[in-house]
Amino acid sequence: MVTKASTLHYSSRTHRLVVPQYGAPRAASSAIPAKRLSKLRVNWFIIGSVCGIAMSFFMNVVFTSLILPHYRSFRALEHPELATLRDVPTRLAQQKIAKVQAKPIIEAKAPPPPPPPSYPLKVALKVSSGDTLLTMLLKQNVPSQEAHQVVNTLKKEFNPGMLRVGQRISLTLDKHERLNDRAAVKELAIRLPSLTTVELARLKEGTFSLAAERVKMVDTPYRAVGKVRSSLYQAAADAGIPSATMAELVRAFSYDIDFQREIHPGDTIEVLMNRKVAESGEAAMGGASNVRYAALTLHGKKHEIYHFADSSGLSGWFDARGNSVKKSLLKTPMNAARISSGYGMRRHPVLGYSKMHRGVDFAARTGTPILAAGDGVVTYRGWKGGYGNYVQVKHNATYQTAYGHISRFHPSVKNGSRVKQGQVIAYVGSTGMSTGPHLHFEVLQAGRQVNPTAQKFNTSQALAGAQMQRFKARMASMRSELAKLQPNQITKPAAPQQVAMASPSKSGTQ
């Protein structure tokens, strides 16, 4: 009650100045006289003005020292001519300009030659994807004209476009005699997959010498062992068997093996041959020689063949009993490499012989050549109901073979024409009652279809007498050789000195 009464009292005397909230604490002490009040007003006015002036001065300083230099340096960078004519940059601004301009120069200088390289400089380069010899040289600070000269000189020995990813190039750089900060190619050597080394050396500016040096290779025994995962051909390639060697072996096995149905994952191929190996232990790609033994292990059954040749001109593949692998009829009457793998086939069931089917099917693309299974005479060529286009060949008094669903006949094949074993007689198709391109192959014995896999066809040649004795000795030496070799291991050739000492007189004949 008391406070309320006193508040009211003071407010009535001082009018606007007294605010009710402040009223209570001040109540007892202050009653401001009018004279003092006006002095207070003047004071506050002066303080306000001073603060305003100080503030504007401060803002001015901030503007000139912080914002203007940025603006000037920005202008100076954009229009240097204007900056020098019209703007007198402050010290701070000059520093800023110096900083901005210096920065990129420092950055550009830093990576390529941190300290000036000490020449001659050896560089080991590795070709990565997208690289060309030219771009690789340019990256090494070689002047463009010289890089082109180097590439053009190399073209005499190899095609620089054939550089492969991962290939190594050893490069020796020298200080360029004319262009101070550039490098000159002193030497360059490229190792090619054929184990040839191409070497280039600088004679003088614009002139290079070029030499191709073949690394000395020694024929070294090699035992390749491959396991079928996706295909027999892949297994062979993984084991280091060149495709040409594989083609020869498949031809040799085609008399006995049905490459459509008898190859399965887990089967193995083994080959004894020679490979060209450098003294470093590096083997040349491809290039097998003296392929002398091969084995296919199919479903646990081992089919071995041995190569045998003698002075009488005999040369060929034989089984362990001395019978030539060549039979009167092929079991796979097409290039086995062209056969679609049996497992994983969805479009067409790859049928074997049964009472209902009476033939065997080989799935292959339309147009794949069909080979005559044996020597003989064509007895039918034309359309034959569900077989579609059809060819029948009479081989001897006992056997005939038939080929169905053909897309087209070979022009040389007419009714009555003679054919040789392995000759192309027609091409795979899907004519007649067929669900997809394949060859329907039948073997007929006395006019009736028989199961070709169950037939024993006659060998074309059997070794006997002295020939058989030599063959047996040869076979024994191959077997002991195989026993000594680890699968897929490249043996380093003997030390070069020994090779040189052992055959100084022979070297002329090789």
Interface with Zn ion by CB under 5 A: which residues? 359, 361, 440
Q: Which residues contact 95 (CB under 8 A, 6 or more apart)?
A: none
Partner residues linked to 126 by β-bridges: 168
Let me know the angle formed at the C-alpha of 314 by 236 and 258, rounded to the nearest 5 degrees.
Answer: 40
User: Rounded to the nearest whole angstrom, what is the least distance from the CB of residue 429 to Zn ion in the complex?
Assistant: 13
Look-up: residue for tokens 């497992």? 343
Q: Are strands 315-318 and 360-363 parallel, antiparallel or unpaired?
A: unpaired
Which residue's CB is nearer to Zn ion, number 326 or number 438? 438
Round the CA-based radius of gyration of the chain to a whole number and report it. 47
User: Rounded to the nearest whole angstrom, what is the least distance from the CB of residue 219 to Zn ion in the complex?
Assistant: 46
Query: Do the Cβ atoms of 392 and 378 come closer than 8 Å?
Result: yes
Let me know the angle formed at the C-alpha of 191 by 185 and 193, rounded to the nearest 5 degrees.
Answer: 150
User: Rounded to the nearest whole angstrom, what is the least distance from the CB of residue 193 to Zn ion in the complex?
Assistant: 44
Look-up: residue for tokens 């022979």? 506
CB atoms within 10 A of CB 448: 10
User: Rounded to the nearest whole angstrom, what is the least distance from the CB of residue 341 to Zn ion in the complex?
Assistant: 18
Query: Do the Cβ atoms of 258 and 336 come closer than 8 Å?
Result: no
**Which single residue brings its beta carbon nearest to Zn ion?**
440
- For residue 167, report the phi and psi dihedrals to the nearest 5 degrees: -65, 145
Look-up: residue for tokens 């100080």? 54
Query: Do the Cβ atoms of 164 and 192 come closer than 8 Å?
Result: no
Instruction: Tell me which H or E stretch contains 136.
Output: helix 133-139
| DSSP 8-state secondary structure symbol assigned to residue 491 | P
User: Rounded to the nearest whole angstrom, what is the least distance from the CB of residue 434 to Zn ion in the complex?
Assistant: 8
Rounded CA separation 387/381 (Å): 12
Rounded CA separation 153/464 (Å): 60
User: Rounded to the nearest whole angstrom, what is the least distance from the CB of residue 330 to Zn ion in the complex?
Assistant: 17
Which residue's CB is nearer to Zn ion, number 69 or number 404? 404
Which residue's CB is nearer to Zn ion, number 369 or number 436? 436
Which residue's CB is nearer to Zn ion, number 314 or number 350? 350
Query: Do the Cβ atoms of 458 and 400 come closer than 8 Å?
Result: no
Which residue's CB is nearer to Zn ion, number 240 or number 359? 359
Look-up: residue for tokens 């401060």? 58
User: Rounded to the nearest whole angstrom, what is the least distance from the CB of residue 351 to Zn ion in the complex?
Assistant: 5
Rounded CA separation 443/329 (Å): 9
Instruction: Tell me which H or E stretch contains 105.
Output: helix 91-109
Nearest partner of 221 among 473, 470, 487, 474, judged by Cα: 487
User: Rounded to the nearest whole angstrom, what is the least distance from the CB of residue 404 to Zn ion in the complex?
Assistant: 7
Which residue's CB is nearer to Zn ion, number 317 or number 441? 441
Which residue's CB is nearer to Zn ion, number 228 or number 339? 339
Rounded CA separation 309/306 (Å): 10
Query: Do the Cβ atoms of 213 and 194 come closer than 8 Å?
Result: no
Please report how the helices 91-109 and 68-78 are oriented relative to each other, as an axis angle in degrees rounded to 10: 50
User: Rounded to the nearest whole angstrom, what is the least distance from the CB of residue 158 to Zn ion in the complex?
Assistant: 51
User: Rounded to the nearest whole angstrom, what is the least distance from the CB of residue 454 to Zn ion in the complex?
Assistant: 17
Residue 204 in tokens = 């003088």
User: Rounded to the nearest whole angstrom, what is the least distance from the CB of residue 161 to Zn ion in the complex?
Assistant: 48
User: Rounded to the nearest whole angstrom, what is the least distance from the CB of residue 428 to Zn ion in the complex?
Assistant: 12
Which residue's CB is nearer to Zn ion, number 256 or number 361? 361
Which residue's CB is nearer to Zn ion, number 52 or number 386? 386
Let me know the angle formed at the C-alpha of 508 by 507 and 510, rounded to the nearest 5 degrees.
Answer: 65
Which residue's CB is nearer to Zn ion, number 143 or number 404? 404
Which residue's CB is nearer to Zn ion, number 136 or number 329? 329
Which residue's CB is nearer to Zn ion, number 359 or number 374? 359
User: Rounded to the nearest whole angstrom, what is the least distance from the CB of residue 308 to Zn ion in the complex?
Assistant: 37
Count of helix runs (H) and strand runs (E) in the chain: 12, 20
The number of residues making up the chain comes to 510
Which residue's CB is nearer to Zn ion, number 258 or number 361? 361
